[in-house]
Structures are given as structure tokens and as C-alpha cells.
Structure 1
């Protein structure tokens, strides 16, 4: 086992890079075998570590990387990932377009202000910018509305004619792909196809066209086009309960969140536990202190409900999750201080999963893994050969 940071006796998030490679192979071979695959490593690889997971994904056959912010993408280049296409899509006015051009990113453009900044940066650097035009096909978030699409396409083609940009891609994002059969899915694919055809008639010759996120990759083959963008599935997590469990999808969750019991003590019946006295012991019992709290990413909304494996038994959070710690009711058992507690993992050893915590907190599994904070060291297992496959 190798580590990005020294192993911590208090708590750690173990990241199984073999699981990441396995998930990429499953997605490529069995689910989207005829298209390119982008490994989305935004938000520090959904909390798993962007650089290590990017290398593992590339070794297993991913051909693109995706980030949200330009600074995430620049960090990959600084770490030595040099000859891999990277799409960076969440730009704001004043962002470092010039550095993106110099780093060879594909940069998403959704509006004329962004195209203006790209053109200015291309003139300043003396290099041609690679841009992908994003269409708003129904999500109503980033992307260009159909009514404004002809002008954006036309001005992008003018900039291409001037040698300032190269339009390398056309893309969009689905709003309801995690709900299979939702009517908006088919509508958005149709709108996207229409907007792509309109751009191509105008003269755009894209290298890639893409709209499929993890959910659409798994359930909507007509949305695969030339490339699929896999985020949460890369890390072995299902995009939503309606799509199925990780196990049913053939995916292996890569993160296990573990801690050591910092204190075990006996409390009498009628004793309050944690802030607000929301939990009161019915009878004499034992409680254990887990040295993780909401400052580490443990959702406060899971107070009284979050599951933890201690020994062979699933225990529940007792009372409120505090900033740095929470308690579990051990039901009279008395494990030694330092005994392991597993908050979540793949589920294959009887431990809770990240989905279990999402349901306890009333949130998404994405929220559970991305919120794990920097005080929790990432410990990497099965590093292996992480250089891109030829």
C-alpha cells in the first residue's frame, strides 16, 4: 500500500485504484465499447484524489480527462499528465484562458462573452485555442440556448477562419438521466442531435460530440455519440437508486472511510448523548466516540441515523454529529479504544455503503464522497502501473 500522505491512526479514506481500473474496463468493454471514454476527475476526483484516479483511469483505457475548473485542469498538467486531451468546462470571466490555451485544453464555450475572452487570449498567446461549444438542450444551466446557437456557432466559425480557435467538439448535459425513462431524456437527445446538425451544416467539423454522463452511459445507448463522460461510475458508485446498485451494474466502489474508536464508555439510562440531548439512553449502555465530524464531511443530517460497522454489528450514530466527532451506541458491547469502525465501503464485507449514508442523510451519493475533507488522509491501495496504456 502506498500513500499520498502518511497513514493516519485516527481516520482515513482508503482508495482502491484497482477498483477504478476495473470500473473503467467494465464501462468500456461492456457498456460503451464503440466510443471514447472521458474520466471526469473534477472536485479532486469526487473526493478520491484527482491525480491518482486520473492515472489509474488512463491506464485502464480512458482516453480523455474532464474537469470543471481551469485550475483543476492545470494541476493535472503540472503533475505531468501532458499528452492527454482534457476538457475543462466551467469558466468565469477573467479566468486564465491564456494558460488553458498554452496547456492545450479543450475549453468549453457557452456564450459570446466566453468566445470573446478566448479570442483575446489566442491573440495574446499567438496560439490557436481548442474550444467545444456547449448547447443547453433542456438542463437550463450552463450552455447556449437554441435561439442563440446560430450566432454562437457563426462567430466561432469566424474566429476559426481567423486562426484564433478550432472548434473541436459539440456537447451538452442531461437533466434527468438518473431517472431512466424520463421523457426529458429523449427530448434532450433529439434537441442535441438537431443542434449538432445545425452546427455541422454551418461548417463545424467536430472531433467529438457528447451528451452522456454516467447515468446515460449506463442506461441510454442512443446518447453515446462519440464520447461518454463518466464521473461517479468511474469511482464505482451508481448515479441513483433507480439505475441499480453498484453490484448490479458490475461496479466496485473505490472508497472506504474508516476510523478508530477514540473512546468507549458506559452511560446510565436516561443520559443524553451529544448536543441538544436529542438522543437519550433508554437503559444503561456503552457508547463509542468516532473522531470524525461535519468538518471532515460527515453529514450532520445523518445524526441519529448514519450506520457504522463496529466489529460484526452495524451501529447507528447516537445524537448529533458534531464538528469533529460523533458517538455510536454500542448496545452494551465494549470494544477496546483503537478498535476499527467502518463508516462505508463497497459493502462486500457487511459494511455500510456510501449509498446507505446518502439515504440516512437525505442526499445523493455524490455528496457523501465529495464532502470528505482534507483532514482525512487518502490512503491508496493497488497503485500498480498508472501510466497511460499505449
Structure 2
């Protein structure tokens, strides 16, 4: 594959993604798998990743926003599809007509989806979300009996079918945290209340990536891996991707835009937070915070250039940053690898997360649209759509 004409690119390994789906399915053999492809598949490209996940045996797809779900349908992606982040006045009817399962966490949302079902002249597929302790979306336990009873009444009227009941962990990425057992118990209670209201959902689900990997008691009928799908460990303190049979899917690289000798005492980038200790060679990497490179990693972000790990010299700018090569040589056009699987000695997204004081989820998700995605399958470049 020839990327020599590209300033920068994010290579997306669809073979690795499919293998990750297989590994995650093996972690929860008694459950289906929802591949979460929200946020443009965590920056990897929603449509190609959704298709690859389905090919590998994912039984559902998951998005946050209805716009994401509708974009999948517009691209011709079929199968079961859930979206969960709704606001009043959202495109409920379009979602109902596109056979998208919609999440309801409150009576206002139930009213809106019922109205959309009447307008569309078809039954809406609805999943009820319980707040079992996370405190974000989801229905509070005090309001849950009323919501489940109202949902059952809407079912009886033929307006909706409750296809699922679900929740989300707050601290599953901290194995052993006391909230985990409490939230599982709260979910079991929510299921019992729903059953008492007469609801019989197709799927019950709670496990995110860390739940899928470390909490078999949370698997229920369906697991919802997100970041693990893309080969990033959600519990790096427990193990890296390889420990769970996963492989990072994204490699971020660029071509050096400049290589030059400078004297000692030369300031580098805004604010001169880095000054060369002696005569040296500086190389310019044409990626910056407008592309998603964290400015917080100024002075600490790792990059593989000329066969060695280097560190960002000085501040990350909007479009570029500098590395000090010391006595090593390089040429404009040489490859700089910010992160990847680590096979070639390059840093990983987790290394960048440590450098920036964040999580690897953010590192891959923030890579912007100025960086083209290049898709490979079995080592060969393939179309992205």
C-alpha cells in the first residue's frame, strides 16, 4: 500500500476488527453481541466498521444518536440497531420507519415515540433504560414502575413493542468496585418490576467493554462492547489488548514535512518550552490538535521516527509538532508513527493516553476528519464505504 502522497492517515485494519468481534463473542458465548459504532465507530469510520462487525457475527449495532443510526440505514446497513441518546422533538418517526430500536428513559420520550408510531402507522420498537446508579440517562427506580406500566399499556394498544430493557455500569472499568454488585442488584430489581408490569423483552443487557471482559454475571442476553471492539483494553490496569485476545485497529501516521539542523539554544514551538540542548536535527510532523493530537501531550507524546521513540519537543500546535532527532538522520517524507498495535515498536493509543493524562478511548475518538481513513483487509487496501 502506497501512502507516500498523503500528509497523514489513520490506517484501519478491518481484519483486526473482525478478529476482535470473534474474541469478544468468545468471552460471552451465551449472549449476543452489540457492536457499538457511535462517534464514527470511535473515530474508526462507522459504516465500514459496522459492516465488518456484522460480517464477524455481531447480532446488533449500537449508536448514541438517532442521526448516527439513520446514517447507517442511509448507507444500506441492515440488521438490528439501537440508538439511545434522544432529546425532545427528535426524529422519532424517521427512526420508527427505518426499523431502529429506540431507547426510552422517561414518560416524555414514551409519549413522543407513541405519537411517532401513530403517525407512521406502524409499531415502534422500544427499549427501556433503567438508571441503576450511573446517574446519566435512564429512569430512576422511583419512576420505573410508572414507566414500565405506561409502556405495557402502549404495547397493549399496539403502538410499541418493548424489545429490550437495559442499563449501564458506572465503574465496571474498576474491577472489584462496590458499585458493580449494587448496580447489578438494581438491574435485577428493575427487571422484576418490568416483568410484574407484564413486559417480556427480547433482550436484557448491561455489559459494556469491561463488563464483557471481566464480569460474566453481567452478560444477560446481549453484551455491548465499544472500545474493546477496536482493540483497546478498557481495563489497562488488568491487562493490555493482547491479554484479552484483542488487537488495536487504528494506526496513526504522517510524513515528515521538514527536517533541519539547528544550533544549540534554539527555541522550539510556541512559548519556547523546549530549547535544544545542543546542535541537533529537528523533524516536523504535520499533525496537530486540529487533527486530534492532544495539546496536553506537549513535551510528552511519543512518536516513532527513524526507528526510535521520540517525544514531542515543545508544544503541540494546531497543525504540527516537532521532534528532536538528536544525532539521527531523517528525510522529508519519512514516516512518523504516533500510535498503532505496537508490532513495529511504535507507541500505542494507551501510551498517548498516559502522556496526555486521559484514556485511550479519547485518543482514537478525537482523530479528526482532516486525517483520511485508509482501510485495509488482509493486508490489502480496500474501499471505505
Question: What TM-score do the two structures reach when normalised by structure 2?
Answer: 0.97
Match of 2:17 in 1: 20
Segments of 4+ moved more than 3 angstroms: none
1:138 to 133, 142, 149: 133
Alpha carbons of 1:7 and 1:149: their partners in 2 closer, same or farther (altered >3 Å)? farther
> Which deviations, in whole Å up to 9, do the C-alpha atoms of 1:190-222 show, x marking residues without a partner?
100111011012100000000000010000000
1:232 to 209, 227, 232: 227
Match of 1:186 in 2: 181
Match of 1:148 in 2: 143
Alpha carbons of 1:258 and 1:35: their partners in 2 closer, same or farther (altered >3 Å)? same
Q: Following superposition of structure 1 onto structure 2, how do residues 60-71 of structure 1 map, counting pairs within 5 Å? A: 60-71=56-67
Answer yes or no: is 1:128 the counterpart of 2:128: no
Alpha carbons of 1:8 and 1:48: their partners in 2 closer, same or farther (altered >3 Å)? farther
Match of 2:342 in 1: 347
Q: Following superposition of structure 1 onto structure 2, how do residues 312-331 of structure 1 map, counting pairs within 5 Å? A: 312-331=307-326
Q: Aligned partners of 2:170 and 2:238: how far apart in 1?
A: 15
> Which deviations, in whole Å up to 9, do the C-alpha atoms of 1:28-85 show, x marking residues without a partner?
12x1111000000000000000110111111111010000000100111111112x00
1:80 to 72, 76, 81: 76
Give the drift of 1:234.
0.5
> Which deviations, in whole Å up to 9, do the C-alpha atoms of 1:92-117 show, x marking residues without a partner?
11110000000111100001110111
Match of 1:279 in 2: 274
Give the drift of 1:311.
2.1
SS of 2:207's equivalent in the other structure is coil
Give the drift of 1:123.
1.0
Match of 1:47 in 2: 43
SS of 2:176's equivalent in the other structure is coil
Higher RCO, Cα 8 Å, sep 6+: 1
Alpha carbons of 1:213 and 1:298: their partners in 2 closer, same or farther (altered >3 Å)? same
Structure 1 segments unaligned to the other structure (5+ residues): none
> Which deviations, in whole Å up to 9, do the C-alpha atoms of 1:299-335 show, x marking residues without a partner?
0000000000012100000000000000011112220
2:103–2:128 contact (8 Å) kept in structure 1: yes
Match of 1:373 in 2: 368
Give the drift of 1:362.
0.3
Structure 2 segments unaligned to the other structure (5+ residues): none
Give the drift of 1:257.
0.2
Aligned length: 380
1:360 to 351, 355, 362: 355
Give the drift of 1:271.
1.0
Q: Aligned partners of 1:360 and 1:332: how far apart in 2?
A: 24
Give the drift of 1:175.
0.3
Answer yes or no: is 1:162 the counterpart of 2:162: no
Question: What TM-score do the two structures reach when normalised by structure 1?
Answer: 0.95
